[in-house]
Structure 1
Amino acid sequence: MPALALVNDVCSLCHGLTGESVSPLFPKLAGQQKDYLKQQLTDLKNHTRMDKASTQYMWGFTHLTESQITELADYYSKQPAMQAEAETPDARGELIFRHGVPESGIAQCSACHGAEGRGHGQTPRVAGQHAAYMIRQIQVFQQADLRERGDLTSQIAHTLSDADAEAVAHYMARLGP
């Protein structure tokens, strides 16, 4: 099945036709980094993403070809960037995103995700992502065995308190256009 048919028939059910998911259960893919999307789809195909949501919703994607993975990643990465949530940014979240929590050994998120949260290569765009989704991903990273490539993020996320994880997720949700 061509990638655009997959987008229309399968992916859009959760992620929306343009990758602007309306449900906080599913990540927004619009404007996401192409290399990151390719890696995640490959991990889903190979069953190396073990978090519950991935297992529940994406386990059947073992049939994706390398060409389909590339086409899907290309399609979503070229969509207009994720739309930010309209609420006022979280001041504590901004502090963590921009400066980290040095007294707890937590590096700033912007060191990897960029000053505007746009990501680069295999580092995902976080700007405009659903806050609830980001909170869940931070929790997944706190369980290092659930994300094969989460080594650095796991080390950082492990020491975030629940309140700090929520604050930085809400801040990231408000970044971007």
Structure 2
Amino acid sequence: MGTALALLTSLAACGGGGFGGFFGGSRNDVPSDQALAARERAAQVAEAELEQERRGNSTIWSIFGNSSDPNTTVEVNKYIWNATLDVLNFLPIESVDPFTGVIVTGYGTPPGGGRAYRATAYIQDTALDARSLKLALQTRGGGPVSRETARAVEDAILTRARQLRVRDSRL
């Protein structure tokens, strides 16, 4: 907006109107076709810049403004979130972020198991659906866990999430 205003102000100053022929013309001179074309191009550029700002395209100046919508929220399924915490309760929690849906745990051994695991869960949707849950398991040695084990943990989380939903619907 400021760029367009500065461009239009400088264009008006160069037009010769009101400055008594500062640039060689007089106040009563009719602008030439070339001057009219230049003014038209400048107006088109200014209009394009204004339209670009209205559409929200970024410019070098957009980093100084807060253009994010404060009403935007990231939503996760509360049943999958709570079920993940319930099923992985034997693992120490390193970080949780309910706004992005990420749960990161440290290494821990499941009850009755001999191998230590670490988990990272990403809940990316509000739907109570298997596609909403992404789970990564890792052994203490850094290796991945077998697909069967990962599938069993995912199934346990989704089953627990459904149980929590059924319990809430009875209230």
TM-score category (smaller protein): under 0.3
- Greater relative contact order (Cα 8 A, min sep 6): structure 1 or 2? 1
The structure with the larger Rg is: 2
The structure carrying a bigger strand percent of its residues is: 2
The structure carrying a bigger helix percent of its residues is: 1
> How high is the TM-score relative to the length of structure 2?
0.23
> How high is the TM-score relative to the length of structure 1?
0.22
